[in-house]
Structure 1
Amino acid sequence: MLQFFIVLYCFYLFFSLYTSFMQIGFVKENMKKRAIILDTKRYYEAANYSIEKEKLAIVSSFFDFIIFVFWIGFGLKFLDSFLSFESQILKAVVFINIFLILNYIFTLPFSIYQTFKLDKKYGFSNITSSLYIKDSIKTALLTIVFGSIVIAIVSYIILSFSYWWIWAFAFIFAVIILINMLYPVIRDKMFDKFEKLKDSELEEKINTLLKDVGFKSSGVFSVDASKRDNRLNAYFGGLGRTKRVVLFDTLVEKLTHGELLAVLGHELGHFKNGDILKNIGIMGFIMFIFFAIFGNLNEELFLRLGLNSEPASIIALFLIFSPALSFFLMPLISLISRHNEYAADSFGSKLTRKVDLVSALLKLANENKSFPYSHKIYIFFYFSHPPLIERFKELGYDVEKESFV
């Protein structure tokens, strides 16, 4: 079984590198064309940003493979021999925390380069080094404190039940639902500054729109996203009573009322079409498969790695191999997601005005510097949203003529 996982990871590395190289070549070829969707200056900036981002992804993939070899080759075995606890639950908590901290340190240079070099070069990142450090410390504390609790409970389940993976899946799935419910509250208390919209006219229009669709929320908020990034975005956060409409301050600044309502109309399309519940169901199904796989690993795999079949090693292997398994499921997930995006566009264009949705998408593309062309294989694996050209085509907007047809 170890050979299977190693081969799987090698395929994962090959395909991730292949898609990046194909994307770079495709973007270079298409940046020679006349600019569409974006203005000429942003068109070339978007192309160059896409290329540089993929080059960074290539280097990162090679480095991830080195980390993978390190852990599989001797890292897990060394860490296991280094830790000696009578309690397997305590050992698992310490083992996984060290594993996560080391992985964070290994990959930190790529995060710093992306944030302070690449994103600043193209006018995205506004974050200061002090805010970056504060965010990192807060994230680390949340991960260690709440992650340790989760690890301890999963370890207890592994030690207590024959078919532990079923119960562990149920617990983790419940935790994910809880995190989604509390996400906006955590962001509000620890990271972002949420404020009620100062534009009372806009707030009234949004509330009317929400009422027409039957979407109940705890309010409409603006968040100070610009202190970190200049990209435009909006989302519906939370579940149940914690649901709220969140608009990035950059979005409120750049879009007209009609365009903002069109963007929210698109998001409401996801709500009306039940996409949130569908996504939760798909996520749960995939997680169940993962837990079934890692809940039935044979003893030979652990012996070949010099480990015992115990909570610490089981959870570590889950964390190491899950990205490779997820990668090969991404095309199916992305296909479903793209279908949902088309349906949300259709709903939003009817709920508000098609011309406002098109105008909003054009502004989003320009401000976020989204290059309009991508290789089919790259779209197949990574695109959760349809390519911009296809979205406009479905909305009846000809990007070449810059008019509706």
Structure 2
Amino acid sequence: MLEIFVIAYCLYFAFNTYTSFMQIGYVKDAKKLKPIILDSRKYEEAANYSIEKEKMAIVSSFYDFILFILWIGFGLSFLDSIIQIDSMLLKAVVFVNSFIIINWVLGLPFELYSTFKLNKKYGFSNMTPSLFIKDTIKTALLFLIFGSLVIAGISFIINSFAMWWIWGFAFIFSIIILINMLYPVIRDKMFDKFEKLKDEELEKKIENLLDEVGFKSSGVFSVDASKRDNRLNAYFGGLGATKRVVLFDTLVEKLTHNELLAVLGHELGHFKNGDIIKNIGIMGVVMFVFFAIFGNLPEELFLGLKLHSEPYAIIAVFLIFSPILSFFLMPLISLISRHNEYAADEFGSNLATKEDLVSALLKLANENKSFPLSHPLYIFFYYSHPPLVERFKELGYDVNNLDLNKFNNKEFDYVR
């Protein structure tokens, strides 16, 4: 049985690496073409950034593959031999936390390189060493406190019920819903500074837009995202009473009122089309499949790893092998997501105008240096959003005939 999982991981590694190589070759060729969507300088920068990211992804994949071999070869059994604790719950907490912390430490060089080298080179990261350390400490504390409680909870369920995977699924799914509900509150209290919009005119326009669609929220906030990163973004965070509209300060600075409203109109399209509920449902189905598989693993798999089929081992095996299932389910999930994005674009362009939405997407692409072209196989596996070329086509714009100066310089009057 272990051999089947190892073969599956090898296939996952091979596909993952192959798509990265295909993407690098494709972008290198596309880089020589006439720039589209981005201006000439940012087109070249975006291509170079995309290539460097994929090169790092390839190195990271090889590194992860080596760690995988080491973990299943002797790492898990060695960790088991040195953690001699009689309490089933305590052993699961210590074992799984140790496994996660070791993996995090071993992966830290890639995180540091991405944050302080690659992203700074292309003008994205504003992260300082002190802020990185503070964020890391806060994240570690949250993980050790709440993560340990979750590990203990799922371990208790595994040890208490014959069909534990059904109850385990319900427990973890409920935790994920709770995290989504509390996410903006946690970010506000521990990481980011949320403020009410200082632009009262923009706040009023946004509130009118929300009322028109029937979206009830706890407020519209600006967050100081620029202290970490210069990229533009916005999101609707929380569930129920914690729902709020969150705008990155970089987005408020770079986009006009009309463009901001078009971006929010797109996000409201997801709300109006029920995409949030659909995504939760899809996530639930995928998670249920995961639990059904890992809840019925044969004893011989654990014997092959020199482990006992106890809670600590079941959770560790889940963490090691779940990326395989995620990767091969990704194309289907991405396909559904891309379909939803087209529908949200249509909704957003009807709330504002197509010109406003296209203008906003152009600015987002240029500021975030998002290279507009990708290999079809790469899109198939990784793109949760359609390529901008296709999004513009659906909106009725030919990227080869877009006048960037017109969109970058023209101010539009928002008419309701």
Q: What TM bracket, shorter-length normalisation?
A: over 0.9
Which residue is equivalent to 1:101? 101
Matching residue's letter, 2:70: F
Which residue is equivalent to 1:72? 72
Which residue is equivalent to 2:305? 305
CA distance in structure 1 between the partners assigned to 2:183 and 2:153 by the alignment: 21
CA distance in structure 2 between the partners assigned to 1:345 and 1:247 by the alignment: 18
Which residue is equivalent to 1:197? 197
Which residue is equivalent to 2:125? 125
1:237-256 paired onto structure 2 within 5 Å: 237-256=237-256
Which residue is equivalent to 1:180? 180
CA distance in structure 1 between the partners assigned to 2:144 and 2:329 by the alignment: 29
CA distance in structure 2 between the partners assigned to 1:251 and 1:7 by the alignment: 45
CA distance in structure 2 between the partners assigned to 1:300 and 1:36 by the alignment: 55
| Cα offset, 1:352, TM superposition | 0.9
CA distance in structure 2 between the partners assigned to 1:66 and 1:137 by the alignment: 28
1:361-376 paired onto structure 2 within 5 Å: 361-376=361-376
| Cα offset, 1:382, TM superposition | 0.2
| Cα offset, 1:346, TM superposition | 0.3
CA distance in structure 1 between the partners assigned to 2:174 and 2:342 by the alignment: 30
Which residue is equivalent to 1:158? 158
Q: Which structure 1 residue ranges, 4+ long, deviate > 3 Å from structure 2? A: none
1:286-325 paired onto structure 2 within 5 Å: 286-325=286-325
| Cα offset, 1:85, TM superposition | 1.2
Which residue is equivalent to 2:210? 210
CA distance in structure 1 between the partners assigned to 2:86 and 2:315 by the alignment: 18
1:176-223 deviation digits (Å, cap 9, x = unpaired): 000000000000000000000000000000000000000000000000
| Cα offset, 1:324, TM superposition | 1.1
CA distance in structure 2 between the partners assigned to 1:370 and 1:241 by the alignment: 34
| Cα offset, 1:159, TM superposition | 0.6
SS in 1 for 2:401: coil
CA distance in structure 2 between the partners assigned to 1:34 and 1:190 by the alignment: 45
| Cα offset, 1:34, TM superposition | 0.7
CA distance in structure 2 between the partners assigned to 1:300 and 1:10 by the alignment: 20
Matching residue's letter, 1:373: L
- Does the alignment pair 1:167 with 2:159? no
Which residue is equivalent to 1:270? 270
Matching residue's letter, 1:36: I
- Does the alignment pair 1:90 with 2:105? no
SS in 1 for 2:400: coil
Which residue is equivalent to 1:393? 393
Is there any run of 5+ residues in structure 2 with no aligned partner, and where? 407-416
SS in 1 for 2:185: helix
CA distance in structure 2 between the partners assigned to 1:376 and 1:36 by the alignment: 18
Matching residue's letter, 1:8: A
1:283-332 deviation digits (Å, cap 9, x = unpaired): 00000000001100111111111100100000000000011110000000
1:30-49 paired onto structure 2 within 5 Å: 30-49=30-49
1:226-279 deviation digits (Å, cap 9, x = unpaired): 000000000000000000000000000000000000000000000000000000
SS in 1 for 2:195: strand
Matching residue's letter, 2:55: K
- Report % sequence identity: 76
TM-score in terms of structure 2 length:
0.97
CA distance in structure 2 between the partners assigned to 1:354 and 1:63 by the alignment: 45
CA distance in structure 2 between the partners assigned to 1:203 and 1:96 by the alignment: 45
CA distance in structure 1 between the partners assigned to 2:66 and 2:145 by the alignment: 29
Which residue is equivalent to 1:29? 29
CA distance in structure 1 between the partners assigned to 2:195 and 2:135 by the alignment: 20
Which residue is equivalent to 2:379? 379
Is there any run of 5+ residues in structure 1 with no aligned partner, and where? none
CA distance in structure 2 between the partners assigned to 1:145 and 1:66 by the alignment: 30
Task: Tell me the matched-pair count.
Answer: 404
CA distance in structure 2 between the partners assigned to 1:3 and 1:271 by the alignment: 44
Matching residue's letter, 2:28: K
CA distance in structure 1 between the partners assigned to 2:243 and 2:165 by the alignment: 31
Which residue is equivalent to 2:13? 13
| Cα offset, 1:370, TM superposition | 0.5
CA distance in structure 2 between the partners assigned to 1:144 and 1:328 by the alignment: 30
Which residue is equivalent to 1:219? 219
SS in 2 for 1:187: helix
Matching residue's letter, 1:85: I
CA distance in structure 2 between the partners assigned to 1:140 and 1:281 by the alignment: 30
Matching residue's letter, 2:223: V
CA distance in structure 2 between the partners assigned to 1:300 and 1:70 by the alignment: 19
1:275-286 paired onto structure 2 within 5 Å: 275-286=275-286
Matching residue's letter, 2:186: I
SS in 2 for 1:36: coil
RMSD of aligned Cα (Å): 0.8
1:49-98 deviation digits (Å, cap 9, x = unpaired): 00000000000000000110111000000011111111111100000000
CA distance in structure 2 between the partners assigned to 1:212 and 1:329 by the alignment: 36
Matching residue's letter, 1:109: P
Matching residue's letter, 1:21: F
